[in-house]
Amino acid sequence: MRIILLGPPGAGKGTQAKSISNKFSIPHVSTGDIFRKNISEKTPLGIEAKKHIDKGHLVPDELTIDIIKDRLDNEDCINGFLLDGYPRTVNQAGVLETILEEKGNCLDTALLIKVPREFILNRMTGRRVCLNCGASYHITFNPPKTDGKCNLCGSSLVQRADDSEETVSERLDIYDAQTQPLIKYYGDKNLLSVVDGTQAINSVFESICSILGAIEKW
């Protein structure tokens, strides 16, 4: 099964992607993970990508396309994959279609986790992380036992730069302008499936499994 996972920043795509990958035995290909690995290792790609990510901007197409094409050539993607974070533009979608056609394959569905803007702003701006051990919290949904302190190691919690309201708003604006057209693109191709992302995490996954299970039977 070949799946694209769509949705705005903060829609919970990463969480659902891991569950889908395990359930359907396909690799989870996350551009975010690939970029973070390169950023942590300070590779040329990572250094260039960080300039855009820190500003809340999308990484340019040419950088993203190159890493995706290389990743899909790996043996674990022969029988399918779940793409998380790609494509983000109609141009990237067209390139992906060409890549798959060259392999004699096609996309099974573009799965959209739909979440309202205000819901995302509340979710993302409320996140806090521990710089010492990496544990994550939310001031409303998963608060620490002691305000501003990590439950596990007692270190101070901080808001990541890309979780500030200004940066989140800018990322959502970019999503609306550049990525939303993908909804129409895949809708016109009868490949779009939509899930309500405001549900509880388990309920979102159950809805996803229902959709993908039906597609598998086609």
Residue 51 annotated in active site: no
218 contacts 109 by C-beta, under 8 angstroms: no
Tokens describing residue 193? 């499936």
Catalytic residue among 2, 71, 123, 127: 127
Residue 36 annotated in active site: no
Sign of dihedral through CA atoms 161, 167, 168, 174? negative
Burial class of residue 117 (count of CB atoms within 10 Å of its CB; 0-12, 13-18, 19+): middle
Residue 71 annotated in active site: no
Catalytic residue among 71, 123, 128, 171: 171
71 contacts 29 by C-beta, under 8 angstroms: yes
- CA dist 218 and 207 (Å) reads 18
3-state secondary structure of 58: coil
Alpha helices for the chain (secondary structure H): 13-24, 31-40, 44-53, 61-72, 90-102, 117-125, 165-174, 181-188, 201-217
Catalytic residue among 71, 88, 123, 128: 88
Catalytic residue among 23, 37, 55, 160: 160
| DSSP string of 100-137, one letter each residue | HHHTT----EEEEEE--HHHHHHHHHTEEEETTT--EE
- CA dist 173 and 164 (Å) reads 14
Query: Active-site residues: which are they?
Result: 13, 88, 127, 160, 171
